[in-house]
Structure formats: C-alpha cells, structure tokens
Amino acid sequence: MFRSTIAVVTASLIAALCLTVAAQPVMAQPAIEDAAPHPMVPLPAEGYITRDDFTDFAEIEFLASPHPGGREPEFEETLQVEGAWRQMEYTVDGLELSLLRLYRGYLQHFESSEFETIFSGIGEELSIRDGFTFISYQSGFLSRTPSTTSESNAYILVRSPDEQTIIGVSFFSRQNARRMIINAVEIEEMAPLDLFSPAPEPEQEQEPEVVMVPQEVEELESGLVRDGRVIVNAILFEFDRAEILPESARALGTVADLLRNRPELKLLVVGHTDGVGSFDYNLRLSVERAQAVVSWLGNTGGIDSARLRAAGAGPMSPITTNRTENGRAQNRRVELVEIFD
C-alpha cells in the first residue's frame, strides 16, 4: 500500500462539482466493475456506477442558490469547503423512472437520515429568467442550453448530521438514461506538508492489543436478527493480500454452522479495509477478501454458493479511527449482511 500524493484543487463555479462541459456529445461511459456506491448516497434500483474519482484533499465551492439569470455564471450563495473529495456518477438506463420521482426519493432519503438540506430545486426552481438551465447534460452546472421541460434537471445540496460531510447531487437525463453526479467532501484541515525532518516524538504508552475472539453461532444470529448485519471476529488475512490465515478456520466454521442451521438464510459477505493506501487499491482488496471468504464457505464449509454474494466497501465504512494501529485492526474486518430476495 502507499499513500496518495496530496492534491489541492481550487474549483471554479463552473467546474467545482463535475466534469468539464464537452463541446460535442460523447459516448456513454461503461459501468465500473465492482464499484461500490457512496455510503451516504444509495444507488437506485437497476442503477450502476459510471464514474468514481477520489482526491485526498480539495477546495470545493458548492452552489447554494438558484441561477440569478443573465449571461454571467454568478450565484448569490455558495458554500466553500475543504477536505477529501469523492466524485461519482450513477446511471439508470431508460426514462421510465421519472426525474421528479428520483429527485423526491433522494430528498426523502436525506430527510429521513436527518441530513440538513442546504438547497434543493428542480426545473424552473433552479433559474430565475432567460431559460438557462442550472445543470447541464454533462457537466452538472451552468448549461447555456434552454430547458426543454420543466423538470429536465434537479439538484440537492445537503450536510450530514455530524456536519462533517457536504454532498451535492445533480440529476439530469442524457442518451436515454437518468444520470446523477454525486460530489461528497469530508471536511477536514490539510495536514502540514512533510518538508522538513520531523522532531523526535516523545515516547507514548503502548496501546493494549485488540484481541478478536470468535463468536458462537447464537451471537452471529442475534446480530443479524437485531441489526441485519454482524461483524465476524477473527477472520484474518495475509498482510496486503486476500489469502485467509489458518487461524481463521474456527470463525469461518461458525459462519458455516449458522448457514446450515438456517437453510433459508442468504448472506452478503462484505470486506472492509483500513484507510491506509489508495482508495481504489483498498476497494479492490476488500472485494477479493470477501470473495475468498465465500470460496472457503463453499469449498470447505459445504455451503451452496447461491446463498452467498461477495462485496467490498474498502475504507468507506470504518467503525473507529484509522489514526491508531488498534483502530486500523478493527476496521479491517468481514461483515455479514442478511439478503432478502
């Protein structure tokens, strides 16, 4: 693993949250294999991911008011934040799903999750005059092409309940598909650049080692019933690889026993990594580790593979801080999620 180089991006209003406006139409982007949606922005049913970029530090200016009209792309209100920036595109083929239903569905999702809605609008709510659309067919902002319908574009800007994440979502239609541009910034201050030799750090007390004790079948089952998901302790892997260590056999055997006791149960096996290293690398490693667990349960545990599905969340859903070794050890984990087909 390696740490990505710090990149500082100062975004203009036109390009702050999205792709550069193209002068000519471009071909539809293919789905990104094994890509996972943003943990705060669920993927629509039948949707897939066509863009997933990450910058470890950026300065982003979100639009927070309607377009005031006129030829100049100036807005009365904007929101400028700094931090880790993730930009994604979701696509749903066809136009059967209305843009209005998609827009209102996400408004309800954010409201039910106790997000603060900073600004939202659809169609004419996004501009005052001149017919200029607030969101373009590709860039996500400031098209000079007049809207053809009252709901051709939509936009939501929200703040997470802990006030640490700002998310802007642009909705539009292109090439017979509904599309969403998601821009999420985890607010943080930029750490000082390592230009000089660091001063010796004072000795610190050693952290107590975290001991992962394998659970019994009843513990796994009660967690699934109560929360719909449960962490499986003591599934260990080779460093930086997807090979399962022999001492994981007891924990994996308990999962196999659970599935044998509950023949109707189907599970999503989700791999998680710590936050050290590049996002794409960790995401791929988490998927490979989940697949290794599914293979063990099928080949060694005798479980029908049709009851299991592998997925990876990489570093996107930590259960504690990644600033300590113990925290990173807890974040490197395997979770079971109950599936209802």
**Is there a single domain that holds both residue 183 and residue 221?**
no
**Is there a single domain that holds both residue 177 and residue 247?**
no
Q: In which residue are the tokens 């930009």 written?
A: 87
Domain that holds residue 64: 48-187
The whole-number pLDDT of residue 317 equals 94
Mean pLDDT, range 84-107, rounded to an integer:
93
The whole-number pLDDT of residue 148 equals 44
Of 165, 187, 209, the residue at which a domain comes to its end is 187
Query: Six-digit token pair at 207?
Result: 């952290």
The region that residue 70 occupies, defined by phi over 0 for left and psi between -120 and 50 for alpha, beta otherwise, is left
The whole-number pLDDT of residue 318 equals 94
Residue 316 domain flag: yes
CA 151 to chain centre: 27
pLDDT over 60 at 179, yes or no:
yes
**Is there a single domain that holds both residue 229 and residue 162?**
no
**Is there a single domain that holds both residue 156 and residue 239?**
no
Residue 113 domain flag: yes
pLDDT over 80 at 200, yes or no:
no
Are 90 and 30 in contact by the 8 Å Cβ rule? The answer is no
**Is there a single domain that holds both residue 52 and residue 170?**
yes
The whole-number pLDDT of residue 207 equals 60
Give residues with Cβ within 8 angstroms of 40, minimum separation 6.
113, 160, 165, 167, 184
- Which of these, 312, 307, 314, lies nearest to 291 by C-alpha position? 312
**Is there a single domain that holds both residue 279 and residue 161?**
no
Q: In what order do the strands lie in the sheet with 153-159?
A: 48-63, 78-93, 177-187, 165-173, 153-159, 116-122
Residue 194 domain flag: no
Total tally of structural domains belonging to the chain: 2
Q: In which residue are the tokens 């943003």 written?
A: 38
Residue 20 domain flag: no
**Is there a single domain that holds both residue 98 and residue 165?**
yes
Are 269 and 308 in contact by the 8 Å Cβ rule? The answer is yes
Per-residue pLDDT band for 294 (boundaries 50, 70, 90) equals: very high
Residue 150 domain flag: yes
| Euclidean distance between CA atoms 32 and 35, whole angstroms | 6
Segment 52-62, tens digit of pLDDT: 999 988 888 88
**Is there a single domain that holds both residue 110 and residue 157?**
yes
Q: How many CB atoms lie within 10 A of CB 233?
A: 19
**Is there a single domain that holds both residue 170 and residue 281?**
no
Residue 125 domain flag: yes
| Euclidean distance between CA atoms 36 and 240, whole angstroms | 20
| Euclidean distance between CA atoms 60 and 62, whole angstroms | 6
Segment 221-272, tens digit of pLDDT: 999 999 999 999 999 999 889 999 999 999 999 999 999 999 999 999 999 9
Mean pLDDT, range 105-110, rounded to an integer:
96
Instruction: For 250, list phi and psi in degrees, rounded to 5.
Output: -65, -45
**Is there a single domain that holds both residue 312 and residue 240?**
yes
CATH number of the domain at 250, please: 3.30.1330.60
DSSP state at residue 152: S
- Which of these, 165, 159, 161, 158, lies nearest to 186 by C-alpha position? 165
Residue 203 domain flag: no
Per-residue pLDDT band for 197 (boundaries 50, 70, 90) equals: low
The whole-number pLDDT of residue 188 equals 85
Q: How many CB atoms lie within 10 A of CB 197?
A: 6
